[in-house]
Homo-oligomer: A and B are copies of this chain.
Amino acid sequence: MDYVYGPGKNHLFVPGPVNIPEPVIRAMNRNNEDYRSPAVPAMTKTLLEDVKKIFKTTTGTPFMIPTTGTGAWESALTNTLSPGDRIVSFLIGQFSLLWIDQQQRLKFNVDVVESEWGQGAKLDILAEKLAADHAHTIKAICIVHNETATGVTNNLATVRKLLDQYRHPALFLVDGVSSICALDFRMDEWGVDVALTGSQKALSLPTGIGIVCASPKALEASKSAKSVRVFFDWNDYLKFYKLGTFWPYTPSIQLLYGLRTALDLIFEEGLDNVIARHSRLGTATRLAVEAWGLKNCTQKEEWYSDTVTAVLVPPHIDSSEIVKRAWKRYNLSLGLGLNKVAGKVFRIGHLGNVNDLQLLGCLAGVEMILKDVGYPVKLGSGVAAACAYLQNNIPMIPSRI
């Protein structure tokens, strides 16, 4: 009756798609509707207003495009840049690599700044490039806020500081796919020009909406950007925004209702409480990894990610085997190591709609699997370390009855 079934719940700890809150699943449990009726535009209007809050922007213009993060990337690039434009882009893991691949295929002149996987973006090199770029040939800086493959969070405030320091007019484009709604992100304060995320990440919805938010400067740039675009063209949206019907083509009714509910839940918990929850769970996870005697793929504390932890395994162990057994035996979904770190890391996603005991169940499962593949873990050690921290840091949850 179902495609795969095991007793109990699936423990979903990949860094996306993530667990959907039950009220959101309920809100999406519905038939289609006419998106040209008065109801859908009225709801869309509230969504466009409210979605800005998760970017911490009041001046940005959001686009909720029926696509994935990859499409959101393409929308960010093609609406603001022209073929041949020079962009500085940081390669620090699989997802920044894929974005750079896209940038190259879209015919931009990509100035790649590479780091060892496990390290953050080399912002000192950015400083040098900006300092040298008197002619302002650099049209945009492209950076992932959080590299999902290695669990590395970049410091966006520093990027803005450098741009300001060198009075450089380059656009500041940020992939916030695994950060927005989970990590501290401040579009206006940091002067980000385009930020984007996908519905299936910290927003905790199904895949299907790529949300792109453009600063006034980015909107201005879109008027002269020569990249060919139709489906991803902001201008088609802006035309319908003016008409008050909002949609150039058919949106998913279910995802609109889901997004409405997801935002309501985030605001009920409080966006900053949501971010604090991610910090608690990220810290607890890292303490467990330490207790197991394993290394975090992320090499320095300043880059630690509160949404995903990539765990390095000893050389004689294949991390893919851990992921495989976790799924088969405990209905636990962990993230694989990708590309350069394939076989070397497994990833625990702790973003989106998740709470303490769910994470602790996952950590207990990881311990059993580690033991099962021959790593001499002390059972209970990671859970104990995580519990010790969590127990002293009471979760902030919405007030109840």
- Please state if A39 and B3 are interface contacts (CB–CB under 8 Å): yes
Return A20 CB to nearest CB of chain B, in Å: 5
Range for the number of chain A residues in contact with chain B: 35 or more
A146 to B365, CA, bound (A): 30
CB within 8 A of A4: which of B358, B379, B400?
Answer: B400
CB within 8 A of A23: which of B2, B37, B229?
Answer: B2
- Please state if A231 and B397 are interface contacts (CB–CB under 8 Å): no
Return A87 CB to nearest CB of chain B, in Å: 15
Q: Which of A151-159, A308-316, A366-374 contacts B (4 or more CB under 8 A)?
A: A366-374
- A394 touches B (CB below 8 Å): yes
Return A188 CB to nearest CB of chain B, in Å: 26
A228 to B360, CA, bound (A): 46
- Please state if B7 and A269 are interface contacts (CB–CB under 8 Å): yes
Which positions 10-30 of chain A face chain B at CB distance < 8 Å?
A: 10-12, 14, 16-23, 25-30
Given known A-B contacts A17-B33, A19-B9, A200-B32, A327 and B383 have beta carbons under 8 A apart:
no
Which of chain B's residues have a CB closer than 8 A to the CB of A341?
Answer: none
Given known A-B contacts A9-B358, A208-B252, A36 and B329 have beta carbons under 8 A apart:
no
Which of chain B's residues have a CB closer than 8 A to the CB of A248?
Answer: 70
CB within 8 A of A207: which of B29, B251, B332?
Answer: B251
Which chain B residue has the least Cβ–Cβ distance from A257?
B3
Which positions 352-371 of chain A face chain B at CB distance < 8 Å?
A: 353-362, 364-365, 367-368, 371
CB within 8 A of A10: which of B20, B33, B83, B251?
Answer: B33
CB within 8 A of A19: which of B2, B32, B255?
Answer: B32
Which of chain B's residues have a CB closer than 8 A to the CB of A353?
Answer: 7-8
Which of chain B's residues have a CB closer than 8 A to the CB of A261?
Answer: 1
Most chain B beta carbons < 10 A, residue from A229, A364, A372? A364
- Please state if A35 and B7 are interface contacts (CB–CB under 8 Å): no
Interface flags for A271-295 (1: CB within 8 Å of B; 0: not) read 0001001000000000000000000
- A242 touches B (CB below 8 Å): no
Which of chain B's residues have a CB closer than 8 A to the CB of A106?
Answer: 228, 230
- Please state if A31 and B20 are interface contacts (CB–CB under 8 Å): yes
- A391 touches B (CB below 8 Å): yes
A169 to B131, CA, bound (A): 55
Which of chain B's residues have a CB closer than 8 A to the CB of A17?
Answer: 32-35, 250, 253
- Please state if B360 and A331 are interface contacts (CB–CB under 8 Å): no
29 contacts between A and B (CB under 8 A): A1-B264, A2-B23, A4-B38, A5-B268, A6-B355, A6-B398, A6-B400, A7-B21, A7-B265, A7-B277, A7-B353, A8-B354, A9-B355, A11-B357, A17-B34, A17-B250, A26-B27, A32-B207, A37-B333, A38-B401, A39-B400, A101-B230, A105-B228, A105-B229, A208-B252, A227-B228, A360-B361, A361-B361, A380-B380
